[in-house]
Amino acid sequence: MPQQIIHIQPAAPRKPAPGQPCNGCGVCCLVEPCPLGQLLSRRRHGACAALRWDAVSSLYRCGALSEPEAVLRAALATWPARWMRPGLLPLLRWQARRWIAAGQGCDCTLEPEATLRSDGQSAP
């Protein structure tokens, strides 16, 4: 697999081993969106547009769960049927939990490597 550079918040927790509980490291969503993230981001590669950094908790969150109204508003901003947004919110919440496999454990087999920042410090 070719190397891909992703930019992870320095305060983000280290990625757990596959099968361990999700800890909000963000690696999976920074690499590529899940099926729901593909719909919301309108892309299949790169960071998910719905991914949110929670500075207070120092972890990443799925915006479809933590900020569904804002994520849906951004995803449907140019969609002619914007009036449908309120009706889509319950579906978005349900689908988000299912598609990100909330509570199922880490399924990301990628292992991030630290790189050297321009200031000479090691980055996660």
Q: Is residue 6 part of a domain?
A: no
Structure tokens at 55: 């500075």
Query: Which residue bears the tokens 């969150």?
Result: 61
Question: Within a domain: residue 112?
Answer: no
Residue 117 counted as domain residue = no
The CA distance from 9 to 123, in Å, is 9
pLDDT at site 31:
93
Does residue 93 belong to any structural domain of this protein?
A: yes
pLDDT digits (tens, 9 = 90+) for 23-80: 999 999 999 998 888 988 888 999 999 999 999 999 999 998 888 888 888 887 766 5
User: For residues 35 and 13, what is the distance between their CA atoms, to the nearest angstrom?
Assistant: 24
What's the mean pLDDT in 14-22? 92
The 3-state DSSP class for residue 107 equals coil
* pLDDT for the residue numbered 27: 94
Residues spanned by the domain of 46? 11-101
∠ at Cα 43 (37, 45), nearest 5°? 90
Residue among 30, 32, 20 at smallest CA distance from 107: 20
Domain count, the chain: 1
Cα three-residue angle 112-117-118, rounded to 5 degrees: 155
H/E stretch holding 63 reads helix 63-66
Assigned domain for 36 exists: yes
Summarize pLDDT for 79-94 with one digit per residue, the tens. Answer: 655 666 667 777 777 7
pTM here? 0.78
Is 48 domain-assigned? yes
Domain for residue 73, yes or no? yes
DSSP 8-state code for residue 47: S
Among candidate residues 69, 68, 31, the one with its CA nearest the CA of residue 47: 31
Under DSSP, is residue 93 helix (H, G, I), strand (E, B) or coil? helix
Asked if residue 67 belongs to a domain, the reply is yes
